[in-house]
Amino acid sequence: MGRVDGKVVIITGALGGIGRADAALFAREGARLVLTDITEKGADDLLASLGTEAIFLRHDVSSEDDWARVVATAEERFGRLDALVNNAGMMVLGNLGDTSFADWRRVMSVNLDGVFLGCRAALPALERAGGGAIVNISSIAAMHGMPYVTAYCASKGGVRSLTKAVAVQCRQAKNNVRCNSVHPDGVKTPMVFKVATGQDSATREEIESITGSSDRFCEPEDIAAVVLFLVSDESRYVNGAEIMVDNAALVTGPA
């Protein structure tokens, strides 16, 4: 028996580093998956690798219409929705002075609007299923200022606060829905490679060439393990929590 046996879970940004690790772990633990991403490149290979009931949908998380279609498809295909992992995200480099308003809005639309739209679209479906879990991937950038990523910090801070507002609303509604956020430090994913080199995709070796042996970077699987816990019934009393996955970086301060 898997830890999320039979649960129907939407994972956004499923073709990225953390999304793929989530998909693989959730599949091993028995979930049925609705995997989404703005790109479709590599989706067939991912589905073929999973060995569980899973579908892939092209999905821009900043589109309200896309969200309605994704949630409706999940319920039509699997009869219910048990969890949403708001994982899709992006980063644009820039301090206050060199972040254009267009870049600010782009980061906000994906990282914060996307999570808002996802929570709002999924909540009625989770309630119809008798309860469920929302996991929002934030960052330690929500907890302290980081240089050169002004818009990203602000967007992830918004995700942290939004998570708590949704959690409180669900507690008051006694709807058995929980909403929690996860705050990684560095994770060895294509996002890190893209920020460092400007290139879109990367092998694990290429990513390692950027992160080296720094203890600021964990594996995508380290994040997936926490996300799995928050979706599973093991965390049934965990609501409105923020889980740092940072090897005490926040306690010691940035290196």
Ligand X SMILES: NC(=O)c1ccc[n+]([C@@H]2O[C@H](COP(=O)([O-])OP(=O)(O)OC[C@H]3O[C@@H](n4cnc5c(N)ncnc54)[C@H](O)[C@@H]3O)[C@@H](O)[C@H]2O)c1
Among candidate residues 26, 56, 78, 152, the one labeled active-site is 152
Q: Strand 242-245 and strand 177-184: pairing? A: parallel
Q: Which residue is nearest to ligand X (CB)?
A: 16
Q: Give yes or no for residue 13 binding ligand X (CB under 6 A).
A: yes
Q: Give yes or no for residue 17 binding ligand X (CB under 6 A).
A: yes
Q: Which of 40, 35, 7, 39 is nearest to 21 (CA)?
A: 35
Q: Which of 11, 38, 85, 123 binds ligand X (CB under 6 A)?
A: 38
**235 is written with which tokens?**
């965390």
CA–CA separation, 56 vs 196, rounded Å? 29
Amino acid found at 87: N
Decide whether 90 or 133 has the Cβ nearer to ligand X.
Answer: 90
Query: CB 217 → ligand X: shortest distance, Å?
Result: 7
**Count of residues in contact with ligand X, rule CB under 6 A:** 28
Residue whose tokens read 């290196």: 255
Decide whether 29 or 222 has the Cβ nearer to ligand X.
Answer: 222
CA–CA separation, 244 vs 98, rounded Å? 29
**159 is written with which tokens?**
């995700």
Which one of the spans 13-21, 44-52, 117-125, 126-134 is the region binding ligand X (CB under 6 A)? 13-21
Q: Is residue 237 flagged as an active site residue?
A: no
Instruction: For the segment 119-148, give every residue that binds ligand X (CB under 6 A).
Output: 137, 139
Q: Give yes or no for residue 118 binding ligand X (CB under 6 A).
A: no
Instruction: For the segment 45-104, give every residue that binds ligand X (CB under 6 A).
Output: 59-62, 87-90
Angle at 180 between CA 103 and CA 78, to 5 degrees: 95
Binding mask 169-208 toward ligand X (x if CB under 6 A, else -) reads ---------------x-xx-xxxx----------------
Interface ranges with ligand X (CB under 6 A):
12-13, 15-19, 37-39, 59-62, 87-90, 110, 137, 139, 184, 186-187, 189-192
Q: Which residues are catalytic?
A: 152
